[in-house]
Amino acid sequence: MYATRIQLINYGPIENIDISFPFDGEQPKPVIFVGETGAGKSIALSHIVNGLISARSVAFPENPDVQSGKVFKLRSNAYIRFQRDYYFAQVDYSGEISIREMRIRVRKPHGAPVPSNIEHSDAQVAWSAIQSGESDYFSGPTKDALDEVKIRDAMRANCALYFPPNRYEEPAWLNEQNLNTKAEYMNLHHTTGYPDRVITNYSPLRDNQNWLFEVIYDRAAFEMQIQNYDVPVQQDDTTRTIALPLFLGYSGQSETTYRNALEIVRLVINGGPNIRLGIGRRSNRTVSIVRDEQIIVPNIFQLSSGETSLLNIFLSILRDFDLCDGSFVSLGDVKGIVVVDEVDLHLHAMHQYDVLPKMIKLFPNVQFIVTSHSPLFVLGMQREFGVDGFGLYRLPHGNQISPEEFSEFGVAYQAFAETIRFSNDVRTAIKESQKPLVFVDGVTDVKYIQRAAELLGKSSTIERVEFRPAGGDSQLTKIWNSTQLLGADLTPEKVVVLHDCDSRATNDAEGNVFRRVVPIAPENPIKRGVENLFSHSTLKKAMHDKPAFIDVTPEHPSTLRGDPVTIPEQWVVNADEKTNLCDWLCANGDANDFAGFSVIFELLDEIWGA
């Protein structure tokens, strides 16, 4: 079972995407969604996962992923794109399985025709299916007998896993519980309609440990190969024959599973060929990693966060497939779909670039659909799979891009931070620019500054420079650090690295390169990002039009080290609405609304001279 196509219209930051997932014949290619925070990467994954969970609930009514009568993903007006009347979503899977949903901003009038602004044919069908007086529609796998059998067969023959961005394993040093956690027999159900597998995995290391224990136990108990050899024994004056058992190794499905699991472990820890798994005694039955008969990891809970993250994902794939009806000899026989949000989470640079792409390549018949902020991971995928061996899509627009295009993003600077190559990239960008450069945090900073210049009569200030989004505060810091490696004579033109108010950076200068931090406006409700420059009244106007723009936490009591404290009201831009809020303010704001941006023009005028 694979995802074949996703369509999203007017959903959060996404205006219109239609992506057909790539295949090489019948073999799925890995898919990576990239884009800035708030571009809709997690939104796209949520629809794919929603289809898997919907199918699982049909095939196995006693579904452990979602409680009976509950849904995995909410349908709400809050997700309708700014200044649009509806959203539409559809995900198609192999085997003619689909989910389709639609939400309209107002309830459907009785007898109303399809509105002219709904041009997409599938969206028109969904609109027509909405009942009069209702505002949403959902269509997914049904309990029709044929569908139910078809879906159950697909679920039993394929792995289906989702790893959310808030997955986390507590490190062993945090408490003794993980160190003392013993491997146990799995509590498997053998009841029709109740699966022993779940789609969503937050912290599966304990389940993986127990599964490994059972694999090793079954291997030792049932698959040990013994050959008896008759050996003559002389005793007194007589000779008799005794059967001498000779151990020949192991043979069976558990041995196959164990060897495949070892292949994953070896790659994760770079352990070499002489690696095996060990099981402690009954009083301390932990799973350890042994090399050349020396214990190198006494307990798999003691692995680093990055190693644990990789081990969890890829052992979970093998475990899930082992528990379904699919049989396998090698990892290449494993089939299914694996969705990972922020696949580079917790990973060291070399894990991102080298190990993770190799791990994905171990499973050529598993469809990986992941999100990432890491150019190192993308470059590693290009090295491992080639340019055409995987699909790279930039959200919110959904266009397919090449790894080279992704490496030009501001976020790609993290791939080469503190390296000469990174410094050379900065040098080239500056020299090839037709104007002096101002690096800012993100795309919305550029939009806001340009609109503020129009409204405040500062067009002459920004016409002399070129603004470039860096992709985050950490990227700005790395750009600044790289200029130190290149020296003060980097360029005859001036360059500004401009941080938002919440940065820990400090104002500095080195030759023609200037580092500046926008002063915070303490009276304004949002304390982070460029949105700090907007007043309470301006943001209230935006929220009046769409409350989803801003997440507000009311003032509330709390305790700090045992002492009562009052936490003030907090305003934060919703991550999925950052671009939409920017579009609204730029379209509807006036000079008074953008007055706070005068501090930016004062900084620039100071550097270049008014």
Q: Give 297's strand partners.
A: 289
Range of weakest confidence among 280-284, 288-292, 378-382, 513-517 = 280-284
Identity of residue 403: P
What is the rounded radius of gyration, in angstroms, for the C-alpha atoms of the chain?
29
Tell me if 320 is assigned to some domain: no
So what's the pLDDT on residue 64?
54
Give yes or no: residues 141 and 188 share one domain.
Answer: no
| pLDDT beyond 80 at 421 | no
Tell me, rounded to whole angstroms, the distance of Cα 340 from its chain centroid. Answer: 5
pLDDT-derived band of residue 147, with 50, 70 and 90 as boundaries? low
**Do the beta carbons of residue 42 and residue 70 sit within 8 Å?**
no
**CATH number of the structural domain spanning residue 108:** 3.40.50
Tell me if 318 is assigned to some domain: no
| pLDDT beyond 80 at 61 | no
So what's the pLDDT on residue 382?
92
Give yes or no: residues 91 and 31 share one domain.
Answer: yes
According to DSSP, residue 544 is labeled H
Give yes or no: residues 220 and 138 share one domain.
Answer: no
Give yes or no: residues 588 and 454 share one domain.
Answer: yes
d(CA 344, CA 380) in angstroms, rounded, equals 12
Tell me if 115 is assigned to some domain: yes
Give yes or no: residues 259 and 345 share one domain.
Answer: no
Write down which residue in 363, 385, 407 finishes a domain: 407
- Provide the CB-side half-sphere exposure for 110 (13 A, CA): 0
According to DSSP, residue 464 is labeled T
Nearest residue to 88 (alpha-carbon basis) of 54, 139, 134, 38? 139
Residue 460 CB contacts under 8 Å (≥ 6 apart), including other chains = none
pLDDT-derived band of residue 417, with 50, 70 and 90 as boundaries? very low
Q: What is the mean pLDDT of the chain?
A: 83
Domain hosting residue 267, numbered range: 172-193+201-308
What average pLDDT score do residues 229-247 get?
A: 84
> Read out DSSP for 327-346?
--SSGGG--EEEEESSTTTT
What Å distances lie between residue 286 and 176, 179, 201, 302, 322, CA to CA?
13, 8, 21, 11, 21
How many domains does one find in the chain? 3
What average pLDDT score do residues 137-143 get?
A: 77
pLDDT-derived band of residue 194, with 50, 70 and 90 as boundaries? very low
Give yes or no: residues 445 and 364 share one domain.
Answer: no
**Do the beta carbons of residue 80 and residue 8 sit within 8 Å?**
no
Tell me if 130 is assigned to some domain: yes
Tens digit of each residue's pLDDT (9 = 90 or more) over 3-56: 999 999 999 899 999 999 999 999 999 999 998 888 899 999 999 998 888 887
d(CA 194, CA 56) in angstroms, rounded, equals 10
Percent of the chain at pLDDT > 70 equals 85
| pLDDT beyond 60 at 597 | yes
Tell me if 330 is assigned to some domain: no
Tell me if 319 is assigned to some domain: no
More confident: 401 or 190:
401
User: Which range has the top average pLDDT, 201-210, 230-239, 351-360, 422-431?
Assistant: 351-360
Give yes or no: residues 234 and 90 share one domain.
Answer: no
Tell me if 289 is assigned to some domain: yes
Range of weakest confidence among 145-149, 505-509, 512-516, 600-604 = 145-149
Nearest residue to 464 (alpha-carbon basis) of 503, 428, 423, 436? 436
What Å distances lie between residue 260 and 74, 211, 226, 267, 381, CA to CA?
38, 13, 23, 11, 22
Give yes or no: residues 429 and 396 share one domain.
Answer: no
Q: Structure pTM?
A: 0.64
Give yes or no: residues 432 and 574 share one domain.
Answer: yes
pLDDT-derived band of residue 551, with 50, 70 and 90 as boundaries? very high
Give yes or no: residues 599 and 499 share one domain.
Answer: yes
Tell me if 134 is assigned to some domain: yes
User: Which range has the top average pLDDT, 176-180, 271-275, 490-494?
Assistant: 271-275
Write down which residue in 407, 438, 453 finishes a domain: 407
Give yes or no: residues 181 and 82 share one domain.
Answer: no
Residue 61 CB contacts under 8 Å (≥ 6 apart), including other chains = 193
Give yes or no: residues 292 and 378 share one domain.
Answer: no
